[in-house]
Structure 1
Amino acid sequence: MEKKELDTTNNAKAALHPLKNKFVLWYTRRTPGVRNHTSDSYEDSIKKIVHFSTVEGFWVCYCHLSRPSSLLVPTDLHLFKEGIRPLWEDSANCNGGKWIIRFNKVVSGRFWEDLVLALVGDQLDYGDDICGAVLSIRFNEDIVSVWNRNASDNQAIMGLRDSIKRHLKLPHGYVMEYKPHDASLRDNSSYRNTWLRG
């Protein structure tokens, strides 16, 4: 009897479907009107929710998450590859930047879900250059951003943009903006003073 139970356990482990990358989901709930991104208190405010490395682990996590429409303002969800903190200063992020898309609050949840599935499923081009993605819940809009490692590789940046547009099936009128993290550090802002790239 013991032998049979052991075999069942091993079969259950073998049946899991590993992802190409391991991921960590983080959560930040900030005080409205308070900017503290460059201070230690910002890093302290980022909380790990869960990590996963299999398809099954992802769905267990995702099925229990609150939908974006039910999150308080301002809140950020960060889905990053394991070992990369969702900070501009992290060694994987410091030379990179992010593609930014602003969404009406009515549709942001669908686009975020599509992006998360593409990221977890390694469906985006230049996937090795991607560090993670952020959903920023704000008062008048929600903002989705995809972070990459190298802000000076124009081919990878534009290829990633095209891949995001294709996978999200972005309607023609949506504008994507790019901003290097060193520019964010200089002006202490994630979403102001972006480079418009179409």
Structure 2
Amino acid sequence: MAYLSFNESFNSNLKFTTDGSEENDDMLKKDLPLRYNWSIWEQIMQTNEKGAAYSDATHKVASFSTVQSFWKLWNHMPQPSELLEQKRMVREQPDGLHVIDAVMIFRENIRPEWEDKMNAAGGHFQFQLKPNIGGGQVDEYWNNLVLGMIGATIEPANMITGIRLVDKLSGPRAAGVIRLEIWFTNYEDSAAVAALKKNLEKCMATRLDGAVGTAPKCETKAHATPGKH
């Protein structure tokens, strides 16, 4: 089975093309703006030092606002399946290599923190993906969510504030899973949250051929009380 993965280990023969029409070619030459502007963040593995704050470990690394600028960045970012190959995400800095615990994409001017005003009264949907489902499936879930989020096709799109990919496979807080989180605002609007969850799961489980598979178990977490990210 083919998965929506950009890891060539899975889909070396998979090619994405347009229909080649002149209209499409002309359209692709123009900047295609996204509904929202987005920023990519990284979370560096925190030390066990007292006073080490979550906010100190998060760093914004890039921003994008068009389809083209997204793909320029996305083509150089690792797929989660690579974590299943005993690899770690790392960032080289002046003081050496730092392990990256999480990659995050959030709307511009929204920090990937519960304390941000757009997240404080919100929550997140959480998916714990075990390695035995396979790297191709992990990638497809992740890519579907990211593309659905930035393309504003998961309604109500205005509720979504961002997404996190958290490496929980190894390290001091290992749980043997890759964790995906979709953050949203306005947790108390239960009808909107339920609609968002339903549409999110459908997007996540959609296969390349358009068939809808099964989404993994979803946990819904509120941000009203401080906790670990």
Shorter-chain TM-score: which interval?
0.7 to 0.9
Residue 29 of structure 1 pairs with residue 55 of structure 2: no
Q: Which of these residues, 33, 58, 63, is aligned with residue 51 of structure 1?
A: 63
Residue matched to 2:76: 64
2:20 corresponds in structure 1 to none
Tell me if structure 1 keeps the 8 A contact 2:201–2:215: no
Deviation of 1:23 (Å):
0.2
Which residue does 1:103 correspond to in 2? 129
The residue that corresponds to 1:131 in the other structure is 161
The question of 1:165 aligning with 2:201 is answered: yes
Specify the SS of the correspondent of 1:59. helix
Seq. identity, %: 24
User: What is the count of residue pairs matched by the alignment?
Assistant: 174
Gaps of 5+ in 1: 1-10, 191-198
Three-state SS of the structure 2 residue aligned to 1:83 is coil
- Write out aligned runs for 1:1-198 (5 A): 15-31=30-46, 34=48, 41-68=53-80, 69-70=82-83, 71-72=88-89, 75-105=101-131, 106=135, 107-139=137-169, 140-169=176-205, 171-172=213-214, 174-183=216-225, 185=226, 188-190=227-229
Q: CA RMSD in A?
A: 2.6
Alignment match, 2:94: none
2:145 match: secondary structure: helix
With normalisation by structure 2, the TM-score equals: 0.69
- Unmatched runs of 5 consecutive residues or more in structure 2: 1-25, 90-98, 170-175, 207-212
Amino acid at match of 1:158: A
1:78 is matched by which residue type in structure 2? M
Q: CA deviation at 1:40?
A: 6.5
Mapped partners of 2:61, 2:224: distance in 1 = 27
Q: Distance in 2 between matches of 1:138 and 1:74?
A: 11
One-letter amino acid of the structure 2 residue matched with residue 20 of structure 1: R
Deviation, structure 1 residue 66: 1.9
Alignment partners' CA distance in 1, 2:106 and 2:64: 11
Q: CA deviation at 1:104?
A: 2.0
Q: Which segment drifts farther, 103-112 or 67-76? A: 67-76
